[in-house]
Every structure is written in C-alpha cells, then in structure tokens.
A = this chain, B = another copy of it.
Amino acid sequence: MSSASVDKHAAILDAAYELFGSGGFYETKMSEVAERAGIAKGTVYLYFKSKEELFMAVTRRDCEGFLEQLEGKLRACSAMTDKLSVIAEHHLFYYYERKQHTKLFFRAPNNNPELVAYMAQFMEAYMQAVVKVLLEGGATEPELMAQSYIGILDRLKMDILFDPEFAEADADKRAKFAARLFITGALGSLDSALGDFPAEAES
C-alpha cells in the first residue's frame, strides 16, 4: 500500500468516523463521507467494498484503539486497586473525548451478523482484560464481577455523552467513585439499616 493510499484510507476512516459517529449508520451518506474525505465517491469503493464494510472498519479501529490504550495503561501500574482505577478512568475519558460520536455505538446497521459478532468479541476481550485484573485478587465469579464493573462505568458515562455541561473534572470524580463503590460496595455509604443484609442470600 503506497503512502498516498494509506493517507486516503485513513482519510476515509476519519471522515466516516465523524459522520457515522454523529449521524449514525443509516443517516450517513457515502457521498458525504467522500466529500469530507476530499475524494470522489467512487474512490471510497476502492478502499471499502460497501457502506457496511466501512462501518465495520471504523468500529474495529475504534474498539482496537480502546483496548490497546487500556492494555498500555494497565501495564504501567501493578497494584490491583490502581488497575481498577485505571480502567475506570480509561473508560470514562475515552468516551469523554468522543462525546460527539456517540452514534457509532448506538446507531449501528441492523441485522449485520458480522458486526454483531465483532461487537460480541470486543466485549469479551474487554471483559477478559478486567477479569485478568480481578483474578490477581483471587475473585470468585470474576466474569460476572468484570461485567458488573464495566456496567457501572458504562452507565456512569451516559451523562458524559448527553450532558453538554459535563466537564473533565466530573469524569475524574466519577471514575474514582466507580472504583471505590465496586471495591467496597454500597455498605460503606449506607447506614446501619444494612447491617442485617443476608450475605448469603436474600431469600
């Protein structure tokens, strides 16, 4: 692939990321992607076979970037609590930086098995990264624990995406909150009424 080709390939991905991200799959036109990338309509098809394939490529690049950055940050610290904090910060800041592009995940093409499969694989990889951290602490049910942690982070990110007032400091605060809640549970913040929580089962 020549240097010019790389440039164009990347330019198309960038343009598509912007448009798919802010408008969703169905409301983004290939002609707009071409225009924003500064090339002709037909040229897009030299690099991506179809609109769906382009969407897949955009999604894949974004997800891979998410995981790669996460792995890098995790390697930089050793204590499990630090790692959990790193995960929270990464999750929230990643979306904080992309708050304009929420549609990439919410407005995907329907009924595309390849995309569904890829997203499932991405979620699995993300979960396993968290599982790996939890196993260092000898967690039981690490997969459910990992999913729960990701769930907390994913919900706490929502205001980031939709609240225009949201600031970086808020993201940071939420990251810390998430990590602490996950570790210590709500017990710490709740009064003694909880003291009698049946630890084994709520039957």
Contacts and interface: CB of A to CB of B under 8 A. Distances in A.
Interface of A: 23-24, 26-27, 79-82, 85, 103, 106-108, 110-111, 116, 120, 123, 134, 136-141, 144-145, 147-156, 158, 162, 173-174, 176-191, 193-194, 196-199, 201-202
Contact of A144 (B110, B136, B177, B188): B177
A199 B176 CA distance: 10
A33 to B, nearest CB: 16
Contacts of A150: 155
Q: Oligomeric state, in number of copies?
A: 4
Nearest to A144: B177
Nearest to A150: B155
A115 B152 CA distance: 24
A82 B138 CA distance: 29
A137 B184 contact: no
A175 B134 CA distance: 21
Nearest to A202: B176
13 contacts: A23-B111, A24-B110, A26-B110, A27-B111, A80-B190, A81-B196, A106-B106, A107-B108, A137-B191, A137-B193, A137-B194, A138-B193, A181-B185
